[in-house]
Amino acid sequence: MTAPSRTAEIRRLAATDEGAATAALAALFVDLFDLAAKGVAINRDQYSLNSLNGFFSAGGADYFFKFHQEDGEEAMTGEYYRADILARAGLPVDMPVFVSNLPGEQVLIYRRRSDPRFSDVLRALDIAALDERRNLVAEADAAAAERGLDAAIARVYLGSLRPVTVSEAAAEPIHRLFHDRLVDMPGRRFPGGRLAGFYLGKPVRLPGVNLAWDDFAGRRLVVNGRAYRQTIGDLFAAAGARLRPDRLADAGGVVAHGDAHNANVWYGQGPDGPVLSFYDPAFAGEHVPALLAEAKATFHNVFAHPLWLYDPAEATRRFSASVRLGDGTLAIDTDWALTPVRQALLAAKAELVWKPLLSTLKAGNLLPADWRRVIRLALFLCPTLVMNLRAGATTHTETSSAIAFAVAVMVGSEPEAGEDAMTAFLEAIDPNASVKSAR
C-alpha cells in the first residue's frame, strides 16, 4: 500500500486553507531539505493547472519552489525532475539547488530570480494585440527568443534521436501527460482517469445548449462553417488506442523536456537580446517518443492562446461563441483567433523543430505512416485532459468551453474540406511536401 501524497494534500489545502498549506509546505521543506523556511507564500497564477509554486526564504537566501502533482502519483515508479539530462544535452535549463524526486513528494527549489516567465511576456503581447495597440518591437524580440530556443531544441533532438525499445519508450514519464490521463491504473483500463472523471456521464453546457456527454461526444463539430471528420468521442477512442506507451517506440526517442509550456520557461536578457531557459523538467527524459516530445509546447504555447485555456473569464469578455444543433452535428461560430505573436511562435516551431525532426525521422526510416494522426491526437489531449473543459466544472464558462472544444477538435481532426491553421501547420512540416509539389 502506498503512502498518501503530501504534495497532493498541499495542493488541496492551497485551494481551501492557505495558512494550513503554507505550514505544510514549511514542514515539507524541513523534512526533505532541512531548510527552515520563512515567509512561505503561494503564487496564485492561471498557469498552475496541475502544479503549485511560490516563494520562501531560508538561511539568508530567497528561493522559488515548484512541484507538479499528478493523479495517483504516489503509486508511480521511475525517475523524475532530471534537469541534469537537459543540461548534459546542451539545452538551456535553470538548475535547481534542491530536488526531491520521491513519488508524492516531488519538489524543486530554485534560487529566486527576477526574470519574468515567457508566458507572462506573451500574455501582455496578446492583450496589447487584442486592444489594437501592438508592440511590434516586443513581439519581434519574443519571436527571436523563441527561434533561439527552438534552434537549440532541434540540435538536441537531431543529435539524440535514435531507435528505442518498447520498454525504453514506455518507461518515460511524459506518458503521464497523455495516455495515463485516459486510463485507470493498474492495467490501463480505458476509459478511465481524467477522461472518466471530467467527462463521462457528465452534462455539457454551451451557449443556449445543454447536452448529455454521449450526445455531445457523438456529434460532428462544424467550426465557423468548416465540418470536421472525427467526433470528440472518436478522438478520445483513437488516442486511447494509438497513444499507448507501448505503441510509441516506432518513431524513435529523443532527449526532451516534454512539458515546456511557457510557464516553465524564463525570459532572460543575454548579451545580444532576450534569451529563454527551461525550468521544472518534471517529465524530462532520454528516450522520449519523438512525436510526443514537442506536443505540449506546441499546443500550450500557441493554440491555448489567447486567453481561453488559462483565463476563461477574460476570454469570455473578449470573444463570442454561438452554438447550433443539427442532424448529428454541433455548429460553433466564434471570433476567437490566434494573435500575430502566437502565429510567429507556431511558424518558428514548424520551421526550426518539427520540419527538421520529421525529415530526419523519414531519412532514418523512423517516420510512421500515420505520423499526422499521432501528432493530432497528442495535441487534442493537451487541452481536454489538462483541465475539465465543461462549463461550471472549474473556471470555464459556456463561451470559453465552446471555444475550447472547437480548438481541440480543430487540432485533433482533419476537416472535411479546406484548410485551417492546423492543416497549414501539418503541410508546413510534412517531409513529403516537396515530393508532392513536384508531382
Does 306 sit behind a cis peptide bond, omega within 30 degrees of 0 on the bond before it? yes
Domain assignment of residue 101, given as a range: 6-111
- Among the three residues 111, 131, 166, which one is the final residue of a domain in this structure? 111
Mean pLDDT, all residues of the chain? 93
Query: What confidence tens digit (pLDDT) does each residue in 263-305 have?
Result: 999 999 999 999 999 988 888 999 999 999 999 999 999 999 9
Q: Please tell me the predicted confidence (pLDDT) of residue 437.
A: 44
User: Does one domain contain both 246 and 306?
Assistant: yes
Residue pair 270/337 in contact by the 8 Å Cβ criterion: no
Q: Please tell me the predicted confidence (pLDDT) of residue 83.
A: 82
Could you give the CA distance from residue 361 to residue 367 in angstroms, rounded to a whole number? 5
Contacts 24+ apart (CB under 8 A), 371-375: 371/251, 371/291, 372/426, 372/430, 373/238, 373/242, 374/242, 374/243, 374/248, 374/251, 374/291, 375/291, 375/295, 375/426
Q: Please tell me the predicted confidence (pLDDT) of residue 8.
A: 86
Count of CB atoms situated within 10 Å of the CB of 355: 17
Q: Please tell me the predicted confidence (pLDDT) of residue 438.
A: 41
Domain presence at residue 1: no
Domain presence at residue 158: yes
Query: What confidence tens digit (pLDDT) does each residue in 342-390 have?
Result: 999 999 999 999 999 999 999 999 999 999 999 999 999 999 999 999 9
User: Does one domain contain both 102 and 235?
Assistant: no
Q: Please tell me the predicted confidence (pLDDT) of residue 5.
A: 82
pLDDT of 1 > 50? The answer is no
Residue 107 belongs to domain with CATH number = 3.30.200
User: Does one domain contain both 251 and 339?
Assistant: yes
Domain presence at residue 205: yes
Domain presence at residue 399: yes
Q: Which range, of 177-186, 249-258, 428-437, averages the lowest pLDDT?
A: 428-437
Q: Which range, of 44-53, 163-172, 200-209, averages the lowest pLDDT?
A: 44-53
Distances (CA, A) of 338 to 299, 308, 370, 439: 12, 11, 27, 33
pLDDT of 410 > 70? The answer is yes
Count of CB atoms situated within 10 Å of the CB of 210: 12
User: Does one domain contain both 101 and 130?
Assistant: no
User: Does one domain contain both 369 and 423?
Assistant: yes
Note the residue count of the chain.
439
Could you give the CA distance from residue 268 to residue 114 in angstroms, rounded to a whole number? 9
pLDDT of 54 > 50? The answer is yes
DSSP secondary structure letters along 218-286: TSEEEETTEEBSS-HHHHHHHHHHHT-GGG--TT-EEEE-S---GGGEEEEEETTEEEEEE---TT-EE
Q: Please tell me the predicted confidence (pLDDT) of residue 48.
A: 65
pLDDT-based confidence at 328, cuts 50/70/90?
very high
Who contacts 114 (Cβ-Cβ below 8 Å, separation ≥6)? none
User: Does one domain contain both 23 and 85?
Assistant: yes
